[in-house]
Structure 1
């Protein structure tokens, strides 16, 4: 069952805001908006960074997350996410009401390698996503991004164990991504996702 998401994003430094419209047969349409930020605290506090986010959607959905990150070039991150459990087109495809942990390395030129885990801690589904993600610069101002995903937990039709992946290319103005996501959002649906966009 195909779905379409059209969104407009604004980014200024570490600040991001976005507005989107998602449509899928059987789900309908949902207008969505969000904000996320990156706050660096005083060096006296060990260079800890705070990463908040907020999501709103038609139908009364409200969700948000808060994470703390410390260290560099090797860093650790821990976070929590919560929603009001109203219907939502979950396009980040990780459990929404969850705890998260990450260990990563960030080098020169925006090189980054991260191992992360996101686990439901509210609904009793035991749903977990484990990601190994890579960002690496390429010639001519292009950047490669890759994500290897393992998921497990209780889905709509029973236990789920599956592997997925995504690959992306980002340029100064254009970007594109392809992803394979078996049992998307722990449903019975095996999904391919294609996305592309223009920065202006």
Structure 2
């Protein structure tokens, strides 16, 4: 796992956060803006089990105001150790009456890690998005588990009710690993509950040869509480199969 963690660094494609929920998903702003006006803080606690051999823990506090966010978090496990991180992202619409949004992000972590991303999103209710992420390749435990020195592309649909559906591809374009994640994501409201399903297909060069695997995320948001369960085979293109549980509260 360690070599993958050094090569596959944190990207926030418009602030992607499938696992740690640290940042903005494609098409996400419209679905959460109203709730964030009243509940700007989001506390997440994560427990990660790695093939039954050992576990990791993560805590993350996020603050959102309008279309901008900042977060502070810490991760630890017995092999990697402990790493503290912080970051911010925003979404800026430069032209009145246009759906064009520019979405930069930046992230820092102990150990000298620096990363950032920039993406462009256009369209309502159908939207497209393209982005790029870059890091200084210093050691970092990747909590969104997508290739991070990478290009990303997404196309999807969202409406004012909170329904969001999109396909997204994130692929390494710097380190020569041929690593690619493809996500099919559906999010829809059901009364006071919001459900999220993310089906993942990953391919590319891993620690010990080629990787071709499927994973999935199931998320349930109920009022101010949420729980996400993830099954991620060959996490970070290592030989480790991970199961992750994240619970949290907005306040």
Q: With structure 1 as the length reference, what TM-score do the two structures score?
A: 0.96
Tell whether the 8 Å contact from 1:6 to 1:22 is kept in structure 2 after alignment: yes
| Aligned counterpart for 1:7 among listed residues 44, 60, 63 | 60
Distance 2:70 2:210 in 1: 36
Distance 1:64 1:172 in 2: 32
**Structure 1 portions without partners, runs of 5+:** none
Distance 2:193 2:93 in 1: 27
CA deviation map 1:159-182 (0-9, x unaligned)? 000000000011231110000000
**Structure 1 residue matching 2:236: 3-state secondary structure:** helix
Which sits farther off after the overlay, 100-109 or 78-87? 100-109
4+ residue runs of structure 1 moved beyond 2 angstroms? none
Quote the RMSD (CA, aligned, Å). Answer: 1.0
Which residue number in structure 2 is paired with residue 154 of structure 1?
Answer: 205
Distance 2:164 2:121 in 1: 14
Q: Counting strand residues as a fraction of each chain, which structure ranks higher?
A: 1
Number of residues paired by the alignment? 198
Of structures 1 and 2, the one with the larger relative CO (CA 8 A, separation 6+) is 2
Q: Measure how far apart 1:13 and its partner are.
A: 2.1
Q: Measure how far apart 1:38 and its partner are.
A: 1.2
Which residue number in structure 2 is paired with residue 198 of structure 1?
Answer: 249
Q: Does 1:181 align with 2:249?
A: no
5 Å matches for 1:48-197? 48-139=100-191, 141-197=192-248
